[in-house]
Amino acid sequence: TAVAKWNDLAGELLYFSTTCTGRTSHVGIYVGNNTFIHASGSASKPDKVIVSSLSGYYGRVLLGARRF
């Protein structure tokens, strides 16, 4: 089920367009309090799982959320 932006519940998947194509290029899991967990780095140089805010950059590139 698609979820309206900023109406997220913990556990929902968040979809981001970090490559400016308008297509999903990054996914995270919403954990509450305007934060989500996701893998940082790239496919060729992975780093670790981190917690980030939906304020700023990630809020701007957020495409939407889905509830399963």
d(CA 37, CA 46): 15
Mean pLDDT of the residues in the chain: 89
| In contact, 49 and 41? CB cutoff 8 Å | no
What is the predicted pLDDT for the residue at 16?
Answer: 95
Supply the pTM of this predicted model: 0.85
Q: Mean of the pLDDT values across residues 8-32?
A: 92
pLDDT at residue 11 tops 80: yes
